[in-house]
Structure 1
C-alpha cells in the first residue's frame, strides 16, 4: 500500500513550507540539499522537518495539504505542537 505524507518544514528564515510526497525522507533530503534551485526552500536552507502525517488515499492527502497552506502561522504552530484542541478556534488571520 502506497503512503502519502503531508509535511511541514521550518526554514532558516522561520517561515513554514507545506508539501506532500510519496517518499517523505527522500523529499526532505531534496529540500535540504537544494536539488531544485527554483523551489521555495532553496534559499531558506537549512530546513527542519517539524510535522508530518500519513495517508493511504492521495486525494485526502492533497486536500489536507491545501487546507494547511491556507492556515495562519499560529494555526500551523498549534498543529506542529500537537495542540489539536486549539485548531477549530484559530481562523486565518494575523495573530501576534
Structure 2
C-alpha cells in the first residue's frame, strides 16, 4: 500500500506541519476544509502542501516522519526548497 510523508504550511509560510497518510489527496483536502477544527493544522491554517514523499509502506512513511520531526526547522526548509523553491501549493498537482 502506498503512503506519504508530507509537510504543510500556512499562507505566510511561518508554520510547518509534518504528517503521514495513506491518502495524500484526501488528507490535504481534510486539512483545507478544516475537518478537525481543533487540530493543529486547522488552528494554524497549515493547509498548503509544500513537500511530500511517497513510500511503499506506511511503516517507511512513519519512519521518515519521525526523522523529519527530529530535525530542526532549517533542515525542513532546505528539504522543501529542493523541490519547491517558490513554496507553491502542490495540492493542485496531485
The normalised TM-score by structure 2 is 0.79
Determine the structure 1 residue equivalent to 2:66. 66
List per-residue Cα deviations over 1:23-74 (Å, max 9, x = no partner): 1011001011110022101122262100000000221111100111121111
Runs ≥4 residues deviating over 6 A:
none
Q: CA RMSD in A?
A: 1.6
**Structure 1 unmatched runs, 5+:** 84-96
Over alpha carbons, which structure has the higher Rg? 1
**How do 1:15-94 and structure 2 match up within 5 A?**
15-45=15-45, 47-82=47-82
Q: Is the 8 A contact 2:5 2:19 kept in 1?
A: yes
Q: 1:67 & 1:25 partners in 2: Cα distance?
A: 22
Aligned-partner SS, 1:8: strand
The normalised TM-score by structure 1 is 0.78
What's the offset of the Cα at 1:12?
4.0
Q: 1:60 & 1:47 partners in 2: Cα distance?
A: 23
Q: Greater relative contact order: 1 or 2 (C-alpha under 8 angstroms, separation 6 or more)? A: 2
Q: How many residue pairs end up in the alignment?
A: 82
